[in-house]
Structures are given as C-alpha cells and as structure tokens.
Structure 1
C-alpha cells in the first residue's frame, strides 16, 4: 500500500467527519485519494447537535455525488440500522434563562422545533459517526493512513509533496487540510490572523457525563407554562450573563443504548477570564452552583472522561484557498458551539469544494481563481456566525433582547433551509447539477438566506442595534423593541410559526401549522416567501405524479 499511496490525486489531512465525507465523495468521483490522520478511529469529538441546514445538505451531497451512505446521518431510523443505537434524538433547540441565586422564570424560555414529518434528527455520537464515515471513505477507495503525522509540506505550482514524521513521502496534485485548529498548511503559510478578526471571544470546558437526568424533572412549573416537548428531547442550553451550558443527551429515547450526555460550559472571556487556581471541574461546578435549577440538574452527574478546558476558541485565517490547496471548514476558522453551525458549515463547504476539485483534476487546472467562491463562502459563513453568537451572548442577560434576536435568526433560518429543500426536490426530478450551481449565485454568500435583501437588511440593522447597546448608546429594552418591531412590521416572518406573537416563546410548528404557512405563503405571502413555497409545492406535486406513474 505504501507504493500505491506514494502518488495520488488528492491528499486529505484529517479523517474526521469532514475529511472522510469529502474523501468518499472524491473517490466515488474517480479520484485517487489518500486520507491521513495523526490519531485513530474511534475517537472523542464534540459538535453533536444537528440543525435543518445540515440535514438538508446531507441529502444534497448524497444525491449530487452518488454517495447514499451520507444520508445515514440524517435520520435516527437510518442510524439505528447502519451504525447503531448510540445516537440521541434532536427534536428542538431550547434555552432556559438563569440569574444567579434565582429560580428560572418559565416565561423566559425559548423552544424551537420542527414538525416530525420533516425531520427525524439526531444528536450525533461523533465517536461512531466519524468512524462510520471513515470506513465509507475506505469503501469507495480512499487509502487510509492513521497515526500518520505531517512533518512538512511543500506547495508548488506543479504539485504538492507531504512528508510524514515516519519518513513517507506522498505526492499529490491537490491537498485539502481538514485537520482543524492545528492546521499544517496554516502553520506552513502563516495564515492565522493575529489577533483573530472575530468579535466573539469565548472559551469552553466540556466532557461526557453519565447520570444527567432530564431537566423536565428539575422545575415544578404548571403544565400551561411548560413547552410542548420535553426539554430532554433536544439540545438544551442554560443561558446566563455572557455564558451558557449545553446539554446534549444520547439516552433520550427508548432504543438508545448509550448512557452518555455531552456537557459543556461556554464563557465570554471579556467577562469571565480563565482562573489560574482552579481545575476545569472545579470551575465548571462553581458556575453550576450559581444557579439553583442548574445545580439540581447536575446533582449526581459524573464525568466519564477528562475535562477539556480551552483558551479562546475563535481563530481566523487571512485566506483559506490557494493554488493546489484548501483549508476546509474548521481548519479555516471557528466561532462557537452556540447554534450548532459547525457541521452545517462543514457540509456546505464540502459541497462547494468537491465538484471544483473533480473538475480541476479533469482539466489539470488548479488555479486559485477556480476556488474564489469557496474563499468567499468560508469567510462569509464565519462572519455571519460571528455576528449571531456575539449578539446572542451580549443579549443573554436581557430576555426580551435575546428573544428578539432569536426570532430574526429563526425565521431567516427556516426560509434558508426551505430554499435548499426546494433545490433538492428539483434535482431529484431532473438530475440537473445546474440547480446546485445556481445556489452559489446569491449575493450574500455565507448567509443562511443569501438571496433575500429585506432579511439581510433586517439582520444588519439587528447587529448594529445590539452593538449600540453594547457601548451604551441604547438600553436593552430599546434595542429589543427596535428589533422586535422589525419582525412585527415585516411581511416575511411566518405568523403560523409563532414569530408574530411576542408572548409565544415555543416556536414549534405542527404539521397543520406548516400547511397553514404554505397556504398563506402561496396565496398572500410576500414575493420571496411565495416563490419558495410555490416552487416547493410544484416540485412535490411533480414528484408525487412521477411515483404514481412508476407505481
């Protein structure tokens, strides 16, 4: 295998979910791929919560590149069949606001879910998901190198030479670095911004625990003040002044055989600097003890692995693509676990870079210009996520402001996922790859609804308002009122999903609510909503007719 692996078309550094998924796609497309990694599978990783953008992108990747195994991660039913019963279910994003020494107020909670008819999403147990994708990549022809560490990289106009610490030399026509923060290419080319360009400044402590009970048992709230779903059915965040806990259970369904729960604490470094005289566990529980309901939630919980305690988690790069190389997703930069954008951004970048690499191999043209969109995409994804996380952290102590921000993110994200679903439906009908390429033509690259100007203007105004609040130019209440007023005055946020009702913090539409939304959008909605809804219904109708004819 050493002789066969000496020369390849593409060398991918990092065999996590990103590297393995890209490797499977490229190998399926006919490329000779070597997949190297400094450690082995299975291994611990965080980034376990899914969002609709991620799930739809999995469908797109599987269909576009003919790798059906990718859709396994989309559905809890497929996971059970193909991987195992170690994953949890993900039916919602939920947030409970806390103040030191006080019980949480049931009126200061947010739960956002989707109808079960649309998604059967998972809490991804990364140890098993990443190992699964790694072996899918091998199945399609990738040559693996585990425990293989990069010693040196020589990037030339005519090719790439990568030398391992074991002395092996691999010659490649193109190299993708999907290794994360410790990127060999970023180090070689001195690509990291110093200081990092992002506004968000957080650090994190995290581990896996057992004996973390459902939060539903920790609060004695009347039925009418409880959300329509169990807190334990999804990704729960306990938010407080410039920080939050995450709780991602893998044991929240009957079929689960995994007792673990992913637990983390994220802290704004501008308010919560790292202490010099506490262990990570001591610091974690010092914050747990500040909030009575959180303290009950972790009473009796035990870690099963050592804590990871980071410095600032944000990092950025001056550029992410060059001639014959690409920093992919987490090698390019990172913002924060909040909103679970990491895996979603990763699969979007995979989609953008994969077909370009396959065409470069065919044409023997690896010019940087070919990858200009990938550069704009990665920087845009990071910038918009930076605005989202930074404004949210600033708003956490002020529920009205935080709730208003969440509504802007929520409805724009709903439409963004719908835009992708419509494209996928049309591809399934005609198999024309142009429908995917047309998605790249939107003006606001990296924004989740990139081709709708009113939403983009609302987003920019929201960010500006929160930053004025940060420096004291407006109060939290005034900032909240300005942002909420934009939501209420706009025709775009769907009333059927609850966005127009300031007293409703359970944004969990039923299947009937979804039908009401589609009817409204097609008959009375603004042009952007009408176009998305009508295009989706048309594609669904054509697909149903096709199935009927085939049947």
Structure 2
C-alpha cells in the first residue's frame, strides 16, 4: 500500500437519490466522503412512485445507520410536513386495460391497495426529495463538488484518482458511480453489454403536466364495478398492447400544494417504432387519441417542461463491482419503470453496499470477495424484474393472461415486505445486525420474495407460459389457465386477499384480512411463510396491546 493517503475515503459520482443517501450513510459513520455531480439541485427526475419494499429498506437504513432524517420520506403525512408540501399520496397500484377506439371495460381493471398496516406511501416530487437527501448528506459531513464533470478516472491498487474537465484532481480510496446511464466508470472500463442482455424492450416519453383530470371523472362506471379506492389516489397504469401510460399525481394529498402530475408512456419499439417525422409531444398526443378515456383524461392538460423521448431504456453491465469501485443501481443497469422497482432496488443495494464498504475502509481491504453479494444482488434485481416486466408486456394483449400475471406479481409483495419489517423489528430489539445478514442468505437473490422456492416456481411457470404465447405455441387462454391453476394450487399464495379468485380484481386488504393472512402464514408448511407469519403475528399482537405503536415497529 502507498503511504500517501488520498483526500477522501469514498468519492461518489452522482448526488441524486442514490448517491446522496449512500453519502449520508457513510459520512454518518465517520467516512470522509465527496459527492461529485455534473449538475446541481433542484432538478427534474422521474421515478416518483414508492412501493412498500422501498419504504421498508428506507426505514432499515434510517435505523441501522442512525439517520432519522430518512424516516421523513416514509410516510405521506410526514414527508409533506418535514420535506415540503409537494408530494402526492400513493394508496394503490391501479391498472386499466385499453383497446384502440374503445371505451375501457370496467371488468378489465385491476387495483392493489397497499395495506395500511404496511405503510403510507407517497408520490415523490423528486426535485424536492433529492435536494432534501443531498442536504442531509452535507449536514452529516459530505463534501461536495457540483457542476464538476469528470474527464478521467484512474484506478490503482492503492486508490482512485478523478480528474475533472477543469484539470482539478481528487483522490479517494474507493469510487462509487451512482450517476446513471451515462456512467463515466462504465464507459472507462467498457462495462456495458451491447446489446443489453434483457428480453424486455421498451422506450419512453415523459414530462410533468398541469390540468390532468382524475380518471374517476372521465369514466362512467356502475358503482358495483368501481375500484376499491379512487384511481386518483394512487399510481395509475393505462395498459395496452405492448405499452402503458403512467399517471402519477402530486395534487391528490390534502397537505400537498403541488399542481403537477407526472405523465409518461412506455412502448415496445418492436411494435411501436420511434417516429422520425413528429415531435415527442405530437407522438404522445397521437397515442392518447387512440384510447377515448385516456384522451378525455388529458383534454386541456399542458406540459410544464419539454418532453423527453428516449431510445431503448434497457441497459446492463457485465460487471458491477471491482477492486475499489462499484457501479451502483442505475449506473449498473435499468429495465423499465413498470412496478416502480427502481428506488426500492436502489435502497436495497445501498443497504448491502454500505456496511461492506465501511468494513473495507476500516480493514483497508477492498478484495472482490467482500463485495460479491452486492454484484449478485444488483444483477439479480435486474434479471428477475426483466422476467416479470417481459411477461407483463407480452400479456397486455390478452386480458386473462394479464390478469394471471397481475396475480403472480401481487401475491409476492406482502411476504416480500414483511420479511424486511420483521428483521427491522428484531434489530430494534437488540441492535444485532446479523438479522440483516440472514436476509441475504436466500436462494433467489434479487427476487422480491427471495427465500421462497414455491414463489420462484410460480414465476418460472408464468415466464414459460407467456413466452409460449408470444411464440404462438399456445393461445392466451391456455397460457392463462396454466398460470391461474398454479396460483390456485400454490401454498405460497394466500387465499385471503383475493389472489386466487379471478372474480376479485380489486385487492384491498384491511386490518382484519391482514390478521387472517398472518394466521394463515404462521400455520403454513412453507418455512419461509411460517417464519414470516409467526414473527409478524407476534408484532401485531404487541401493537394491539400498544395501539400508539408506529407501523412497522
């Protein structure tokens, strides 16, 4: 080792939600951190929809690393009180199938209302949430170099050197690239897989708008066919063959004063090639006109910033971790915003990376073996999401098949979140971080319920069935019947919420049903379920004895 010690322990490229959160975690534990960014805050970003697993990982980071400021993002009321009154509420994932030129059929809508017992999720107005996290990182000791573009990266056995376009040189013991698609480190080391290895293909158009009408106001639906919660109170997905629109309102919460709505569409370019003769705004308007109810929702709406039109969204990297460096989260790869996995993946990766990096700094040992799980996790999160999203895009052309895929996706969400919440409660009880190490000892790293062979088998059957439908080997009903039969038979799928009942498309677990789910899970012959159920049931009974206890505690 060189006797010359670099100025910083860790340099982080990118001061967005990923880089700033990691910087705050490391600096809070005593590391000397530099946050580097070619831009500055506040700034526009998409990826605004929170999910229960993301909030669970956020709470774990807050508790494990003594960063209570992170808790402000974990509740829809608190975030509008402590961060800014610009955030929406996400009560549900909502999906409505559309066909060109036709009114949507209420019987072809789905909704999964997030159980109140799990969390109160938000729609993040990213320019405010990211700036907040950046300032948290600075308060805990991170140095910053904003509007500074890296020209060259020199990786050596004893450290890392960054050279800016202005000639300024910075040294660090370790480099994390959290910058995103245009990763300087991925370019330097030629890490991008060309083409990306994923089966899924999509491109996107997106912006922020004002004047987007609540979908509830533009469709006339009989009361018996209305969803469990208003469409406007969650993240709405208008799905159609090989594509989907997103509608993410920031004005649907009583404390919010933000009139904006995040709007976008994601398309498979193999069916919807990118036109060369019209603007992105004109293309969006052309797409909207194909679907009468969607057209009504956007009548009179106006953009507040220029449209962004992308090429293929998917990119991947052959390697994400090396000696003294890590490509983190969206610098490593990206799939598709469907199911809002991006931020959840980011916080899970931070949780895996930060303790290992702090230990490496302490030991002055940056060997590959120490960070092997981070690589496996990053690649696994992308690959399993590729399987699910690819199945979804295939199934959008056949409602019963899409209905089956929806049930597979939804049925794994609650157990996948509860296992994290249980580990967090155990840590709060005795401050033993080994409970988090146990979470990593799972056979299907990166799956949203990674310790269940039964759930993995369900996903594998779903993938095979959808791919056979795509190739024309079976029709949509045959593929759907195969998946739905396994859903009904699977011991990993609860009978209580409605996942097994095709007549129930609006899933809205109340507290009574959550209690029944935990009773069922505790008695399950599947170890991964009975463990979750017993621990969660004990916590529920404790919360009932102390009704003021916070969710997840």
SS at match of 1:153: strand
Which residue of structure 1 lines up, in the alignment, with residue 70 of structure 2? 70
SS at match of 1:464: helix
Which residue of structure 2 lines up, in the alignment, with residue 520 of structure 1? 520
Which residue of structure 1 lines up, in the alignment, with residue 551 of structure 2? none
Residues 251-290 of structure 1: matches in 2 within 5 Å? Answer: 251-290=251-290
Which residue of structure 1 lines up, in the alignment, with residue 476 of structure 2? 476
- Is structure 2 residue 142 aligned with structure 1 residue 162? no
Which residue of structure 1 lines up, in the alignment, with residue 495 of structure 2? 495
Cα shift at 1:118: 2.8
CA distance in 2, matches of 1:26, 1:547: 35
CA distance in 2, matches of 1:539, 1:296: 46
Which residue of structure 2 lines up, in the alignment, with residue 349 of structure 1? 349
SS at match of 2:245: strand
SS at match of 1:497: coil
Cα shift at 1:512: 1.5
Corresponding residue pairs, total: 544
Which residue of structure 2 lines up, in the alignment, with residue 393 of structure 1? 393
Which residue of structure 2 lines up, in the alignment, with residue 181 of structure 1? 181
SS at match of 2:341: helix
- Is structure 2 residue 306 aligned with structure 1 residue 306? yes
CA distance in 1, matches of 2:522, 2:357: 39
Which residue of structure 2 lines up, in the alignment, with residue 83 of structure 1? 83
SS at match of 2:206: strand
Residues 311-326 of structure 1: matches in 2 within 5 Å? Answer: 311-326=311-326
Instruction: Answer yes or no: is the 8 Å Cα contact 1:429–1:539 preserved in 2.
Output: no
Q: Structure 1 residues 225, 363: CA separation in 2 closer, same or farther (over 3 Å shift)?
A: same
Cα shift at 1:519: 2.4
Which residue of structure 1 lines up, in the alignment, with residue 140 of structure 2? 140
SS at match of 2:315: coil
Which residue of structure 2 lines up, in the alignment, with residue 367 of structure 1? 367
CA distance in 2, matches of 1:461, 1:524: 22
CA offsets per residue over residues 409-430 of structure 1, 9 Å max, x none? 1111221111111111111111
Residues 532-551 of structure 1: matches in 2 within 5 Å? Answer: 532-539=532-539
CA offsets per residue over residues 473-523 of structure 1, 9 Å max, x none? 111110000000000111221122111211110011111211221223334
Which residue of structure 2 lines up, in the alignment, with residue 17 of structure 1? 17
Instruction: Answer yes or no: is the 8 Å Cα contact 2:520–2:533 preserved in 1.
Output: no
SS at match of 1:496: coil
Which residue of structure 2 lines up, in the alignment, with residue 129 of structure 1? 129
Q: Normalised by the size of structure 2, how large is the TM-score?
A: 0.96
Which residue of structure 1 lines up, in the alignment, with residue 416 of structure 2? 416
Instruction: Answer yes or no: is the 8 Å Cα contact 1:426–1:539 preserved in 2.
Output: no
Cα shift at 1:454: 1.1
Q: Structure 1 residues 320, 115: CA separation in 2 closer, same or farther (over 3 Å shift)?
A: same
CA offsets per residue over residues 193-252 of structure 1, 9 Å max, x none? 011101111000000000001000111111110011000000001110100100000001
Cα shift at 1:543: 7.6
Which residue of structure 2 lines up, in the alignment, with residue 36 of structure 1? 36
SS at match of 1:509: coil
CA offsets per residue over residues 287-331 of structure 1, 9 Å max, x none? 100000001010000000000000001000010000000000000
Instruction: Answer yes or no: is the 8 Å Cα contact 1:425–1:536 preserved in 2.
Output: no
CA distance in 2, matches of 1:294, 1:81: 33
CA distance in 2, matches of 1:268, 1:253: 33
Cα shift at 1:546: 9.7
Cα shift at 1:537: 2.2
Which residue of structure 1 lines up, in the alignment, with residue 57 of structure 2? 57
SS at match of 1:345: helix
> Mean Cα displacement is larger for which, 518-527 or 469-478?
518-527
RMSD: 1.5
CA distance in 2, matches of 1:24, 1:446: 24
CA distance in 2, matches of 1:151, 1:115: 47
SS at match of 1:248: strand
SS at match of 2:144: strand
Which residue of structure 2 lines up, in the alignment, with residue 103 of structure 1? 103
CA offsets per residue over residues 72-93 of structure 1, 9 Å max, x none? 1111122122111100000000
Cα shift at 1:115: 2.5
SS at match of 2:530: helix
CA offsets per residue over residues 509-551 of structure 1, 9 Å max, x none? 1112112212233346654322211022234556888999xxx
Q: Structure 1 residues 348, 187: CA separation in 2 closer, same or farther (over 3 Å shift)?
A: same
> Mean Cα displacement is larger for which, 516-525 or 166-175?
516-525
SS at match of 1:229: coil
CA distance in 1, matches of 2:539, 2:214: 40
Cα shift at 1:470: 0.8
CA distance in 2, matches of 1:135, 1:451: 36
CA distance in 2, matches of 1:152, 1:524: 55
Q: Where has structure 1 moved over 6 Å in runs of 4 or more?
A: 542-548
Instruction: Answer yes or no: is the 8 Å Cα contact 1:6–1:169 preserved in 2.
Output: no
CA offsets per residue over residues 271-294 of structure 1, 9 Å max, x none? 111011010000001010000000
Could you tell me which runs of 5 or more consecutive residues in structure 2 were left unpaired when the two chains were aligned: 549-553
Cα shift at 1:270: 1.2
Q: Structure 1 residues 546, 413: CA separation in 2 closer, same or farther (over 3 Å shift)?
A: closer
Q: Structure 1 residues 429, 280: CA separation in 2 closer, same or farther (over 3 Å shift)?
A: same
CA offsets per residue over residues 328-369 of structure 1, 9 Å max, x none? 000000000100000010001000000011000000001112
Instruction: Answer yes or no: is the 8 Å Cα contact 2:15–2:36 preserved in 1.
Output: yes
